[in-house]
Amino acid sequence: MRKLALVALALAFTAGCASQTKTTATATTPAASGRLLETGSTLLYPLMNLWVASYQKRHAGVQITTQGTGSGTGISQAIAGVAQIGASDAYMSDAQMKGTPMLNIPLAISAQQINYNVPGLNGVHLHLSGPVLAGIYSGKILTWNDPAIAGINPQYASKLPHHTIVPIHRSDGSGDTFIFSQYLSYSTPSWAKGPGMGTTISWPAVPSGVGANGNPGMVETCKNTPYSIAYVGVSFLNQTQAAHLGYAALRNRAGAFVLPAHATIAAAAQAMVNKTPKDERISLVFAPGEQSYPIINYEYAIVNPHQADAAARANLVAFLSWDILPDGGNSARFLDEVHFLPLPPSIMKLSKEQIAQIQ
C-alpha cells in the first residue's frame, strides 16, 4: 500500500507540473547571434549540455559554452561578470547576497545519493542516517562494522566488514557539499556547530579521507577505492550504476529510511514548494513527511540582473525562459535522462518573475 501511495503521489506531482500551459510561461525571442557562458555545478552540467544542444539547433546563431567547474566557481564567476549563468546546487547565502544584486533562479529539482563501495554489499541498500554520516566524516565512526552502522542494519550486521571506511569529499567549491552538509547539520546538532554547512567547509582531519573534484571525480574515486563512501548528484546515477556502486536508504526527518526515487523526491518537493519565498532562496533538505527523501534541492541559475550587452541580455532571458517551460527544458525528454523533476507551476511562475528582472 505504501508503494502504491508513493507512485500515486509521484504521478500527481508530475501531472501537476505537466499541466502547465504556454500561457503560464512563454519563451522570449533571442538575439540573432551572440555568446553566453554557463559555468558551475557538475550536478546540473549533464542537463545543461542536453539543453544547450537542443536549444542551439533552433537558434544556431547563439553560442552557449558550458563548463562543469563546481557551484562555488559558478557563483563567484557570475558575481564577477565572467559568466552570464552561474550554475549552482546551492542558493547564495545572506552573507554572499550582501551588496550584490544577484538573482537565484530555480530551473529544476534534483537530488543526491550516498554511494558506497563495500565488497559484497554493493547490491543491497544499507541504511544510513545523518548522525552516522556525520560520525563517518568526522572520524568518530571508523569501520563499516561499527555498532552505529550495524545497529540500523541488523539484517546485514554479520556481513559488515571490520575495515576502515574511506570518506570521500569534494575538494572544489560544491553545491553537492552544500546540500550534503545541510543534511548533516539539520540532522546532527554537533555537526551544525562545526564544520557546519557551505559550498566549502573545513573537513575534519580523518586519516583515511580523500578529496575528489566534481561529481565525475567522486564516482571515479569511489569506484576505485574499496570500502569508500561518497555523496554524488543524482544526474550521475547512470555512472554510479555502471560502476556497480551501492546506494543508501537515508533516514529522513520522520525517522523513515527512504531511497532516492521519483516518488520520494516528489514527496519532499511537495512538502516544501509552498514555503518557497519570492527570491526562491530556500533549502529543500530534510523536508517533513514519512515518504520524503531527505537530500533534494532546486538547481539554480545565479544571474546578475544588470546586463550591459543588449544581445547577451536578450539571449540570457530567452534561454532561461525556455529552460523552465514544460514543453521546453523542463520536459520529461530532458529531465528523465538526468533523473530530475520539473518545477511545479507555482515555482515556475516565481522563476519567470525573476527572469523578467534581467535588464
Res 8: pLDDT: 44
**Residue 31, pLDDT score:** 75
Contacts of 144 (CB under 8 A, 6+ apart): 118, 160, 161, 162, 163, 165, 227
Each domain of the chain, given as residue ranges in start order, spans 18-111+298-355, 112-268
> What's the confidence (pLDDT) of residue 30?
81
For the chain (length 359 residues), average pLDDT per consecutive 10?
46 56 56 89 98 95 96 97 97 96 98 98 98 98 98 98 98 97 98 97 97 98 98 98 98 98 98 97 98 98 95 96 98 98 98 97
The predicted pLDDT at position 173 comes to 96
Domain 18-111+298-355 has what CATH class? Answer: alpha beta
* CATH 3.40.190.10, domain 112-268, yes or no: yes
Identical fold, 18-111+298-355 and 112-268: yes
Compute how many other C-beta atoms are within 10 angstroms of the C-beta atom of residue 26. Answer: 12
Residue given cell 533562479 in the structure block: 105
